[in-house]
Amino acid sequence: MNKLKLILILLTAVFTVNFGWAQVGINTTTPLSTLDINGNLSVKTITLVGSGVATDISDGVYISINPQATDQEFRLPSAVTYPGRVYIIRNINNTVTAMLTSSAGMLFPKGSTTGSTQIYMYENSKRSVIVISDGSNWTYFD
């Protein structure tokens, strides 16, 4: 009976340590973060073509948007529903402005406390943006 208790205590300790301090290393034997990648990272890329109604952004990480008319709307998902979500968005149309909105939450430029319900992406200004959900709103970097 004492051997069984000792084995159970050791198994509990081993599983607690392994799950409590779980770190995954890709191409490294000593990960220093929860996910530690020693190499290149590829993310899903998609292209969204604008239409007569708002085009929802719901998939991918690097997103090329291609508006077909001025101020065509591309809508981010709810910042509340997807805390921590990150998108890299680029307007690939050289002549047409795209409008970026959110289904819930406002868009705040980095370092600002003043948000807006939309941002415009066009040549030489906000051509590419990175947006990050904080669980309430989106912060963008251009």
* Shared-domain flag, residues 31 and 87: no
* Tens of pLDDT, residues 92-138: 999 999 999 999 999 999 999 999 999 999 977 889 999 999 999 99
Question: Given pLDDT bands bounded at 50, 70 and 90, which one contains residue 19?
Answer: low
Residue 111 CB neighbours (<10 A): 7
Domain of residue 20 covers 2-37
* Shared-domain flag, residues 7 and 76: no
* Shared-domain flag, residues 62 and 112: yes
Residues sharing a CB contact under 8 Å with residue 121, sequence separation 6 or more, in sequence order: 65, 89, 91, 97, 98, 99, 100, 127, 128, 129
Measure the CA–CA gap between 121 and 91, rounded to whole angstroms.
6
* Tens of pLDDT, residues 29-85: 888 888 888 888 888 999 999 998 999 999 899 999 999 999 999 999 999 999 999
* Shared-domain flag, residues 58 and 127: yes
User: Which two tokens mark 104?
Assistant: 């819930």
Cα torsion angle, 121, 57, 134, 128, sign:
negative
Q: Which residues pair with 21 in a beta bridge?
A: none
